[in-house]
Amino acid sequence: MKELNYPIKFQPILKEKIWGGTKLCLELNKKIDLPNVGESWEISNVEGDTSIVSNGALAGKSLKNILEFYKEDFLGNKNYNAFGNKFPLLIKFIDAKEDLSIQLHPNDELAAKRHNSFGKTEMWYVMQAEPDANLIVGFNQKVTSQEYLQHLENKTLTKILNFDTVKTGDSYFIEVGRVHAIGAGVMLAEIQQTSDITYRIYDWDRVDNLGNERELHNDLAIDAIDFNMKDDFRTAYSKLPNTSNKMVSCPYFTTNYLPIEAQSIKKTNNYDSFIIYMCVEGEASIKTENALETIIKGETILLPATITSFEISAEKATLLEVYV
């Protein structure tokens, strides 16, 4: 088991998107030889896109192989009992040079019935935003399903959507059934359930380089939209230095905001879970009993559940701390 007990890094899985840009390369140091890269999947066990370890004794092993071999030692007992050999989270960095499609995600019940998949509850942490960049989250008024369909038919959907101008540090919790989109000029970190199920309802009438529009999923989406959701999607959180400040806690994941300033912090893992750290600013070192790894802005690292105590050091860094 000793070969498991170190901070694990994975090779990013880069996704070219019609709306993608260059910030993942220029600002997050991703090695990119493709244009319009919109997503870096940092940790993934999505079918066909499973992450590969890039460091240490497990280098070259896939996340799928590790789960099958190490089981609860990797995930934690409660997580393994709940998810078996399925990794429950998908971790991403996203760069939107242009607006993403307006979309939503189905809940667990619909996703299982229609796609044999988890639902897709997610959260966003804005790492950088151009002036006046925005996110679309929910509606700007009370809307019935009939009114929604009328706006969809008349191509006036944007009139009833809520546009939020955003800045670095803003955080949003996107529950299943909530209409949303990332706007042009926003780069963010995304934590979500392991699912790639998206219902696209409007794509700004754009076409690809062959003149083709992307597929819409309005027949599926109408049953998945929750028209009674509260406007509680903005996440307020403290920013106390050298402290894990809770941002989001839901049945699928907990995310904490951890700013480190000229400090070495001793941490204890009593969550019966793996812990993920996404570095969204600066550089930090993570020291376990047997290993020392550095994490810089744009990198992600995972500590298996068997690591119960460790130390994080930095002159100045900001990490997102994630566990289940």
| 165, two tokens | 């101008």
Q: For residue 214, give the DSSP letter.
A: P
- The pLDDT tens digits of the residues spanning 257-307 come to 999 999 999 999 999 999 999 999 999 999 999 899 999 999 999 999 999
State how far the alpha carbon of 265 is from the alpha carbons of 256, 284, 315, 316, in Å: 15, 11, 11, 12
Interval 75-118: pLDDT, tens? 999 999 999 999 999 999 999 999 999 999 999 999 999 999 99
CATH number of this structure's domain 245-323: 2.60.120.10
- Per-residue pLDDT 10s for the chain (324 aa) are 678 999 999 999 999 999 999 999 999 999 988 889 999 999 999 999 999 999 999 999 999 999 999 999 999 999 999 999 999 999 999 999 999 999 999 999 999 999 999 999 999 999 999 999 999 999 999 999 999 999 999 999 999 999 999 999 999 999 999 999 999 999 999 999 999 999 999 999 998 788 888 999 999 999 999 999 988 899 999 999 999 999 999 999 999 999 999 999 999 999 999 999 999 999 999 999 989 999 999 999 999 999 999 999 999 999 999 999
Output the CA–CA distances (angstroms, integers) from residue 169 to 166, 217, 238, 264, in the order listed.
Answer: 9, 32, 11, 23
Q: Could you identify the residue written with the tokens 């879970």?
A: 273
Non-local CB neighbours of 101 within 8 Å, separated by 6+ positions: 181, 200, 201, 202, 203, 204, 214
Asked if residues 15 and 37 have their Cβ atoms less than 8 Å apart, the reply is yes
Q: How far is CA 156 from CA 142, 148, 198, 317, 318, in A?
A: 16, 9, 21, 43, 40
Q: How far is CA 88 from the centre of its chain?
A: 12
Three-class SS state of 271: coil
Q: Which of 22, 17, 33, 18 is nearest to 185 (CA)?
A: 22
- Residue ranges of the domains in the chain? 2-221, 245-323
Model pTM above 0.75: yes
**Block residue for tokens 């289940």:** 324
- CATH H-level, domain 2-221: superfamily: Jelly Rolls (2.60.120.10)
Question: In sequence order, what are the residues at sequence separation of 6 or more whose Cβ sits closer than 8 angstroms to the Cβ of residue 231?
Answer: 138, 162
What is the C-alpha separation between 67 and 69, in angstroms, rounded?
6
Give SS3 for 24: helix
